């Protein structure tokens, strides 16, 4: 049986995790078998047919039930008592410092026993986790049990808010390699990890696939419309955006703002829209499929995302790939992609005045200038965020992390043609 790798995510597929799906498919394009494992099922809110297909391919650890967790733990205790003892010590050490506590980490240990058995049955020799949270904890404990080597992708900003509680330094130390999605996020790991660990920390960007890259930009339509795509939550800044819309509406400017997404802040946003009398200016669409997101972006003159906290939003890559300039904030990895005056606007996070001014400028800018900015942004995405190229970087890291005589993936020179 050929060796495979496994992706381990807390919830997968998920409406906001299209970048993980693209990454997995990009790796499979190299001829590498990829098992999809999630800690828990995430069938809610899946509107994309691609996500539905991924759901059918994904095994949920907690789907085995309490009896399954206990059975796996018992079998490992009988067959690998010393390994289990060492993994237990690690779980207690990490759990003692975490916000979730020791009981949760004992549960993670049982989950790691399930993953260990799945790895052996599927001949998995490497596990890659996304986010430095519980999925990476389970992968680390599985390795301590004698399971496969692991790596993980750090996104931020949440992981950097609780470096000690998540034991990120310990996870980096034990990992074969670590991926970050931007130079900014890599620098945040540099802050905490010893210099001898820096060489294992690599930037691999989230990527955009041919659904966005293969399409030539369509002309900016009329009437003027902005689009904001993302979960409706405090961190995305939609409440600030509604206030900016109010000020522009008071100036007599006519336009539409589409909020594409859903989330815990929806009722608050709807209440604010009603309170400010902006029903003719703002529309909330709810969750949308990837093809619908593409159509919403193409219907707009500009993407606006006034976030307070981010990693590097994939939707910015998608908008630029479709030839639409972007208004966003000077935070995290966003300035690495959005160049002010070249492919969009960057504003101070939290400033409704700066947001209002940027939106006003976009409304008054000639369409030809907007399309030129979109063209420049598309060129940057093609250079930096093509999922085929970024998946190839992961394949190279996987090969480097294993002995070449036991490489788990096909050499790049034989596989690049597949992409």
Burial class from Cβ neighbours inside 10 Å (0-12, 13-18, 19+) for residue 341 reads exposed
Interatomic CA distance for residues 138 and 94, integer angstroms = 11
Q: What is the pLDDT of residue 412?
A: 43
Domains 4-207+386-418 and 210-384 equal at CATH topology level: yes
Contact 286, 261 (CB under 8 A): yes
Closest C-alpha to 384, from 144, 127, 130, 205: 205
What is the residue whose two structure tokens read 């009988």? 78
Q: What is the pLDDT of residue 408?
A: 53
- Where do the structural domains in the chain lie, given as residue ranges? 4-207+386-418, 210-384
> Domain 4-207+386-418, CATH 3.40.50.720 — does that match?
no
Q: Which two tokens stand for residue 232?
A: 């409706």
Q: What is the pLDDT of residue 403?
A: 54
CATH number of 210-384: 3.40.50.2000
Contact 285, 259 (CB under 8 A): yes
Q: What is the pLDDT of residue 42?
A: 76
- How would you write the pLDDT of the chain (419 residues) with one tens digit per residue? 467 999 999 999 988 888 999 999 999 999 999 999 999 987 777 778 888 899 999 999 999 999 999 999 999 999 999 999 999 999 999 999 999 999 999 999 999 999 999 999 999 999 999 999 999 999 999 999 999 999 999 999 999 999 999 999 999 999 999 999 999 999 999 999 999 999 999 999 999 999 899 988 899 998 999 999 999 999 999 999 999 999 999 999 999 999 999 999 999 999 999 999 999 999 999 999 889 999 999 999 999 999 999 999 999 999 999 999 999 999 999 999 999 999 999 999 999 999 999 999 999 999 999 999 999 999 999 999 999 999 999 999 998 776 543 455 444 433 433 33
Q: Which residues pair with 259 in a beta bridge?
A: 228, 284
- DSSP-assigned letter for residue 261: B
Contact 129, 150 (CB under 8 A): yes
Interatomic CA distance for residues 105 and 61, integer angstroms = 15
Output the pTM of the full model: 0.92
What lies within 8 Å, CB to CB, of 195 at 6+ separation is none
Please report, to the nearest 10 degrees, the dihedral formed by the alpha carbons of residues 199, 204, 205, 207 taken in order: 180
- At 282, is the secondary structure helix, strand, or coil? strand
Q: What is the pLDDT of residue 409?
A: 47
């Amino acid at each position: 049986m050929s060796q495979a790798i496994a992706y381990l995510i807390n919830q997968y597929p998920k409406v906001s995790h299209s970048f993980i799906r693209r990454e997995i498919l990009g790796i499979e394009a190299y001829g590498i078998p990829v098992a999809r494992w999630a800690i828990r099922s995430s069938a809610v809110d899946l509107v994309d047919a691609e996500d539905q297909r991924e759901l059918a391919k994904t095994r949920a650890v907690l789907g085995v039930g309490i009896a399954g967790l206990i059975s796996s733990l018992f079998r490992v205790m009988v067959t690998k008592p010393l390994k289990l003892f060492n993994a237990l010590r690690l779980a207690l050490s990490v759990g003692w410092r975490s916000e979730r506590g020791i009981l949760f980490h004992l549960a993670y240990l049982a989950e790691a026993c399930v993953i260990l058995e799945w790895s052996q049955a599927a001949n998995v020799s490497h596990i890659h986790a996304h986010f430095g949270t519980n999925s990476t904890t389970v992968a680390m404990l599985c390795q301590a049990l004698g399971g496969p080597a692991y790596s993980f992708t750090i996104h931020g900003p949440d992981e950097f808010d609780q470096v000690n509680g998540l034991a990120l330094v310990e996870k980096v130390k034990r990992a074969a390699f670590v991926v970050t999605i931007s130079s900014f996020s890599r620098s945040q790991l540099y802050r905490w990890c010893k210099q001898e660990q820096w060489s294992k920390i690599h930037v691999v960007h989230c990527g955009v696939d041919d659904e966005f890259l293969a399409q030539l930009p369509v002309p900016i339509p009329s009437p003027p419309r902005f689009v904001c795509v993302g979960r409706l939550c405090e961190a995305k800044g939609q409440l600030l955006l509604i206030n900016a819309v109010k000020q522009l509406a008071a100036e007599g400017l006519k336009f539409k703002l589409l909020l594409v997404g859903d989330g815990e802040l929806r009722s608050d946003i709807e209440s604010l829209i009603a309170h400010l009398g902006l029903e003719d200016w703002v529309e909330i669409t709810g969750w949308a499929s990837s093809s619908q997101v593409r159509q919403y972006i193409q219907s707009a003159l500009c993407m606006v995302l006034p976030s307070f906290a981010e990693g590097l939003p994939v939707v910015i890559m998608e908008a630029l790939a479709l030839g639409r300039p972007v208004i966003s904030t000077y935070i995290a990895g966003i300035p690495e992609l959005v160049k002010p005056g070249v492919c969009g606007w960057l504003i101070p996070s939290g400033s409704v005045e700066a947001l209002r001014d940027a939106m006003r400028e976009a409304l008054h800018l000639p369409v030809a200038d907007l399309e030129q900015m979109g063209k420049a942004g598309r060129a940057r995405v093609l250079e930096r965020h093509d999922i085929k190229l970024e998946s190839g970087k992961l394949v190279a890291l996987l090969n480097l992390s294993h002995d070449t005589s036991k490489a788990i993936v096909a050499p790049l020179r034989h596989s690049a043609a597949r992409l």
